[in-house]
Amino acid sequence: MGGKLQFSWQAYVMSLSAEPAISVSGLTKKYGGRAVVDHLTFDVPKGSVCGFVGPNGAGKTTTIRMLLGLISSSDGQGEVLGMPLRHPENYLSNVGAMIEGPAFYPYLSGRENLKVLATLGGYPHSRVDDLLARVDLLDRGGSKFKTYSLGMKQRLGIAAALLPQPELLILDEPTNGLDPAGIHEIRTLLRGLADEGITVFVSSHLLIELEQISDHLVILNEGKLLFAGKTNHLLEAQLASIVVRTKRDEDLVQLAAIVKSLGYESTMENQTLHVFAPVDWAADLNRVAFDAGIVLSGLATSRPSLEDTFFEMIGGSK
Amino acid sequence: MIRVFRAEWRKTRRPTLFIGTLVAITMVSILTSSIFFLVMDEPRRGREVRVTKAMFEQAGGLTLGFANAGGLLGVVALCIFAAQMSQEYSLGTMRNLLVRQPRRITLLLGKYLSMASFAMLIVLVSAIVSVATSYVGANAKHLDTTLWNTSAAYHSLFLTFVNVLIATLGYGTIGIFLGIILRSPISSISIGLAWLLIIEGILAAVLTSTRQWLPGQLLSIVAAGGDPDVSYSRALISASLFMVLALVASGLLFKRRDVSA
């Protein structure tokens, strides 16, 4: 109990800290003159869960590799946990990472794989079984890695990332191959880690999952930054809509004309009218419909999801 | 570096590699030592006799079989070093290692020293098995082994051990170099063996003078303690230069190259 209180206090203090966990400025990676990552500038606040979003080939994994010192940047600079990117040896002891899926020795057991990394990093071996228990692999810890299912491999990768009791956890697609229950577990685990004060920087294709757990988002497309900031700021900036259903379908056309005369755009989809107006205009809409003799059978407000917003930003379709 | 060394040994000590290699080395050492007793005083298709009873009964006769195993130990070392290095790329585990030990030269040296210690164990096992086989063979062939128990014989054994160890580490260094360049166990082992066993073999057979410039030939000469074509000291200096070059090139490549696997 005392420990938990201590962790919460730590998380609170860290959240007040102005220094970001990750800060990059103009970060660029070029291969043969082609910029795979093109002048990225963003911050990831300490203690946050930050979603890293982008389509395949957007430059997410390349960026993560630069943050971990695996590849060198072509231009730009950055800091991780207050230390310059050019000296990863100064900060990686406080960073846990899983990049492009879990990679382990197939001929060793899950437990032995973790012990190899624990030995290399100088961490006590007593942590290995604690972590196996945390990712629900204690019973299979003695089995060879090559016998694990994809979900078990992912969980072992997360356990390996947690070995150093990191201040910053960087995970690349941690939910790949997991079933819905496994995805839920990972979501709960990541949220729990953030509550303990650990900054989580996570890339995923599952935007619905990211929307639920991310305080912050960094969105890339074709190597360029599209958005970096708080998740709610992004979603609130998107135009909400009021979804209206009328008792008689033919009234929808009349209602659309009324809405247009009042200065708002609308579209009709599946016998519903989507009015692009502030959500607090719903009451006024109800009144003007009533005044026009139109009986509404449904009135609701709708905000675009992260998925909708993402596809709109990258100019694609679902 | 000690942590890298210990972590590497956790992988090396797995039974399939550790016991498998030592069993193979034992068998190879018995075979190579026994062959010399079987062909003793036998002419080779019109060529001179390779080993004689008189050679065996000298103080250096104790290590004839062990020195003969040197080349094969080198091949084993090349395969192990190349596989252990390149599999980190092919399995994708190099990124895990570099996140936990970002000082790349420390990581490389720790891995090298760990593999070198395993190579030393292989050479030691081979020496023990070869010497034991020599005693068994000498007894079966009724050889006089009085000189095998002299300080000259022990000195010869020690020198042969050092020479075979140097050669084995040299082959291993070539293996590490190939493993880093090619990043694939199959490619690095097959290219390494093709070069050392086939290309160098053909070049040395066609043009004997090339032996003093070919790394594999030089290492074999070091293991054998020199031969009529190339002196021991020349072979040792030239082979050492090759090894230093291979290590420096490996270090530079390993330090600077992006890890994208």
Residue-wise pLDDT for B144-185, tens only, equals: 878 888 888 888 889 999 999 999 999 999 999 999 999 999
3 state SS of A278: coil
| Average per-residue pLDDT for chain B | 87
A91 Cα to chain B: minimum distance (Å):
10
Is the Cβ pair B98, A107 closer than 8 Å?
Answer: no
Q: What angle do CA A179, A183, A188 make, to 5 degrees?
A: 150
Which class does domain A239-302 fall in? alpha beta
Q: What is the mean pLDDT of residues B31-59?
A: 73
Pair A210, A217: CB distance under 8 Å: yes
Return the closest-CA partner of residue A115 out of B13, B42, B186: B13
B247 Cα to chain A: minimum distance (Å):
21
A54 Cα to chain B: minimum distance (Å):
19
Examine domains A2-236 and A239-302 and report if their fold is the same.
Answer: no
pLDDT in tens, B102-161: 999 999 999 999 999 999 999 999 999 999 998 888 888 788 878 888 888 888 889 999
Q: Distance between CA A15 and CA A213 in Å, rounded? A: 16
pLDDT in tens, A207-218: 777 777 888 889
Count Cβ–Cβ pairs < 8 Å, chain A vs chain B.
Answer: 75
Q: Distance between CA A132 and CA A136 in Å, rounded? A: 6
Pair B122, B25: CB distance under 8 Å: yes
pTM: 0.82
Chain A residues near residue B95 by CB distance under 8 angstroms: 65, 68, 70, 99-100, 103
Residues 82-101 of A with CB under 8 A from B: 88-89, 92, 95, 97, 99-101
ipTM of the complex: 0.83
CA-nearest residue of chain A to B4?
A120
Strand partners, A22: A44, A80
Q: Distance between CA B16 and CA B23 in Å, rounded? A: 10
What's residue A166's pLDDT? 92
Any chain B CB within 8 A of the CB of A160? yes
Is the Cβ pair A89, B97 closer than 8 Å?
Answer: no
Domain ranges in chain A are 2-236, 239-302
**Is it the case that residue A12 has pLDDT exceeding 50?**
no
| Average per-residue pLDDT for chain A | 84
**Is it the case that residue A153 has pLDDT exceeding 50?**
yes
CATH code for the part of the protein at A2-236 = 3.40.50.300
* Single-letter code of the amino acid located at B30: I
Chain A residues near residue B99 by CB distance under 8 angstroms: 68-70, 92, 95, 97, 99
pLDDT in tens, A111-131: 999 999 999 999 999 999 999
**Is it the case that residue A236 has pLDDT exceeding 80?**
no
Model confidence band, residue A244 (pLDDT cutoffs 50, 70, 90): confident
Model confidence band, residue A190 (pLDDT cutoffs 50, 70, 90): confident
Q: What is the mean pLDDT of residues B67-86?
A: 88
Q: Is the dihedral of CA A77, A80, A83, A88 positive or negative?
A: negative
Write the residue in A100, A106, A120 that is nearest to B7 by C-beta.
Answer: A120
CA-nearest residue of chain B to A169?
B99
Any chain B CB within 8 A of the CB of A253? no
pLDDT in tens, A55-98: 888 889 999 999 999 999 999 999 999 899 989 999 999 999 99
